[in-house]
Structure 1
């Protein structure tokens, strides 16, 4: 014989007392039994299932506390087993009501609203008490009540729904569900563009929005003249277009429900002409761009202003100036301009334009014709000796406002390179040279004062004659007339540094009658401080000075008691 340890069924008989209540059902499981006997309260009604593993009945009215039991007899000789269940008759717990608190959405609409209580097996019925102007649709006595709210509900003080739960053992404590009639919560700020100029006269939609708030059923937007609602009225997001009649004004919004309206939010949208453009960046001396010796057709000058928003920019040029191009970058509006020889004076000006109009005041940049400044003193350096004499002539910098430098050299001199720049290389023939080297700055408006340096060079010595031989049937001995050796043999230390000046490196060549003794080379700054030291042999070429900054330096070459110092210029 086997019997379950417990009887299954309600231990609180409250919901099953009296004939009108649902019956209580109790169950036992058993195997190998011959008889089952249930012992239930005296006076129980609607009994069914005696002698089986499941019995149902209603408790008698007035029942409070007791037990039920079941005895299961096993097949002989297994004996019997009894199980008992203790019963306690308790009133239900206070019900918990679920449903809306703020009922503004439903007042006066006829829309049904349902309030519910979680199912409780110990409850046999519910008693609902409603305030005025709340009308029952269905559900009185149950755990689900549906009602509607009349318009007068808004103004009354009593807004409580009360409910108790009952069973055969008693009535629960009362639960009060408080109803409210709140207007919408306070709206936050309106988000959206405050400058109408990007939208005026276009089909582009401006979008304005507010964050949703509690108790709001809809959102009422009011837009000014010239602003047209495309979509979104009644929602938190409004799409509008703006036509040319719009002037600076505000749009507003407030949240609405059946109980009233919330606070009004407004946002001022302006229609403002563009401000004067920013400072014009660009050259003020057109002479640097007009046709000149360096550029017979002239060059383009570039002018720009910072961009603001979607503004466009309108440029005005003086007589003698022509617009070559007009472009925009991510940050600037840019034009390129050419100047011809007819330019005399004037200004470059620019205005900004957007959908709202054009800036009242233009931005201007005055232009002035400036001729070149006088060139600096001319620095002279010998780079090669007879018979192929070369010299460099160098200005410390390009003259101010000059596009080129025009050089002239005396008769017997030829400009090898550099014409038009701040330095030239000149070769001289072997004749005596006398005259001036001149430098004149030039731009599209004219020439500067001329700078000159005197040149006076003796004629190069003649080359040595070939040996004279005594003629006869058998040559015996060659004899030569004694002649100056000129540069055929080097009797002393001779040093050449080139190019000089240089923008990069210098090459040093040393020739000496002593072909075997090493040369000590020192690179010094203009204060005599040693920068670097080298060792080389006569006839070799040494490259040095690529690391030097711009300035004047000295190269000192020493062999035995012979010393030669050369000044070099680095640009």
Structure 2
């Protein structure tokens, strides 16, 4: 104060200025302290949560978003600070702004707002604004085996808002996305030369491209499901049933049984241990060798993966030839819906004895009986209801048995 009184270069004795300072300094300090205390007491509160219209705080370059806060008591204006790459288009100073995101918005950053009045300003409120980078698409739904020369095969992934989808086929060999490119649902036409590859899809938006989702594809049929049938049978047991569920886009099935055994598909009896048929159910006439019953689906592009079931022998049944016997018996076809030809060998040996055939059902009842007049007896399927029977052929005191299966 003495310098105010005496100027920049006061005289040596500045007694008047010092006396004035002593009189007013304490009062001036008290008034200043009161002023700032008043301002501090009347500073606006920190604004509430920043709300994004639509509720999503994730954005991409090129998008425009609106944000707002509730009005703060005592505030006369609001200062907004956008994230790096965000430009406030309108609303600065108010409770609501519009922000445009440019290509400079490359990483997550905070949007801030401060409440102001003539006395002071609040602490800032902030919210993190993230890039809306697309997530990897969900699992691809659709057929992935048996695609040989198939057309309009549908595939899809779950729908996500704000993205497009880019689909591709690796090792396409002429296969193409026929419809739906850009959407979450497509159809594909597979060429005759397609063997295998991957169907891939990515999600895309202004923030970039997602990680790839893929589905392995093959032209040949899928492996069969579970083979239904017994795993322990008797040596020489006849008409043992095995089956699988149909395989999508398989045109036929290749069944293979142990060496010496034969396969009946309801129409034809194989002449080897392998049969190609359109039937998913077969009957096996086992011989003396245990092993595996194997099946695979096939189509015009090749063979699918095989499935097998191991079959062991736990007993022995009489069959075509019994050790020490001088005659044998066989039946063909078996199973059958029409007729059974029961054949005896060495029939001349029994010229003085008439062979007799008896058919017994699963309850042990004799449902049919007759005599042979020659070495081949034709048993009409019309006399039997569908089911499994035991045919007993007796010659004198000796007999042999066979299982027969009557189908629909």
Instruction: Give the structure with the higher percent strand.
Output: 1
Provide the TM-score with structure 1 as the length reference: 0.37
State the TM-score, normalizing by the size of structure 2.
0.50
